[in-house]
A and B are shown apart, each in its own frame.
Chain A
Amino acid sequence: MIEFAATYAGLYFKGLLLGLGLTVAAMAGAFLIGLFVALARLSQRGWLRAAGGAYVALFRGIPPLVLLYLVYFGLPAWAAQVGNPFLIALLGPLDNRLLAATLAFSVNAGAYTTEIIRASIQALPADQMEAAKSIGMTHGLAMRRIVLPQSLRIAFPPLCNEFIVILKGTSLASVIGVTELMRSAQMVAAATFLNLQAYILAAMFYVVAVIVLQTLSSLIELKLLAGSTTGD
């Protein structure tokens, strides 16, 4: 097993790095989606609230693998079928595996991120918004300067958790041929017939990566807390 690990560690590591890159990109997209949809869900306007709610209901309901197939196989094929040049220009690039995976995972994780950010905003005492308004801030300014900076600190630990969920979810991208960690393991297994070793090594890579990420997030969390509660 040790010899096996030594032989293929480099290949696995490359796969892990690709998975991590995919995760960072998907998380960035999910964060942006989550921020805007959460604000929509808390909006004073009914139609925005409804639209935000619909987003969460829809994309929390679609399994990520189904979404991946829809984005990678479904959309570009549909654009080509319709033959509309605008649609082809818009959706054609999704036949790029990495792009399709990034989009699918962003949209999927965006639904969860929405709920994390919404709950964090609501967890903040209401008087923070009121105090901000009492000194003449508009709703938007109060959100940006007073509410979100505090809420995102509350959101940080569950967002880190979401990051880890996305990372493990990137193994799904192996089915559309993205050469991330799981795909590397499949290729090694196919070449060596050592299925058990190949997948144990993949599992170990995931576990170590997650432990490292957890440790990092705890360290950052401590730093964030130090800023707000104890001061100097």
Chain B
Amino acid sequence: MIAATQGHRLMALLSVRDLSVAFETRDGLVRAVNDVTFSLDAGKVLALLGESGSGKSVTLRAILGLHPAVRTRVSGEVLLKGRDVNRLDEAARERLRGGVVSMVFQEPMTALDPVYTIGEQIVETLVQHRGLDRRGASRRARELLDLVQVPSPERCLASYPHEISGGMRQRAMIAIALACDPELLLADEPTTALDVTVQAQILWLLRDLQQRLGLAVIFVTHDLGVAAEIADAAAVMYAGRIVEQAPIRDLFRRPAHPYTEGLMQATVRRGQKGRALVPIPGAPPNLIALPAGCAFAPRCPRAYDACLATLPSFHPVAAGHAARCHLVA
């Protein structure tokens, strides 16, 4: 499933090795993603969990090669079906996008084009990427809306994005993402902007589609609850690094990294009334001046000298479960 430190296996659909992304800004070099390594097999769901600024969305965009070359430094390998995304020319990357990998964004209102109907946008995708004629593409567009369970597909096809509800827009965006039968779906907080009753529907839909179509999914989220609903495994990110990787049940039962543990304790759950919450003190570090040791050490209740001095490497906790923490060693 997820190979943490053991290196990537040959047959993985996606294999990311030592991925680093840094942005040049006026204030200095922002080290958004640092030496991220993970792999994902076909048909599996990985949650990239983290708070704002942890590097989860930047990682996701790097998989598609979406970061503009200007003032961005990308290093490391992103092997998608054995081919390094960072070494392909733009034309070859364009073929990967849509056909092999596609993306669903948090805000469907900004990701969809406001001046075209939903139908036109799906048809356009099919004509461009699949070379279908307009009639064939229209028929397929209708099928796709059925697939994402839009109740009245004809009306949705004829609607502009602003004319339909947030949940419907998100379904339409998923339909576009699925238009070219991708093997890997990258989902960037696709339910965060939605109401909780609608979030439940979209999560359920994504899980259903994932299983029926055998999709591999990377699901970026800040929400532990969402990860618990959808993922087979999770990678927890902090200050641009993966600090823990585990099968999802292991992560919830035996969080090994103090940050993961802190996050679980800080999350308000049902039936917690009357008990004080246990927050993580302090705030995440500045990505321009990352500390030498473990980036979480200044907030960690169990940090000792070594944590401040040297960066911990991954230590195995159980099968497929590893944490970047000196305490685990």
A, B: real partners: no
Binding site for A on B (CB under 8 A): none
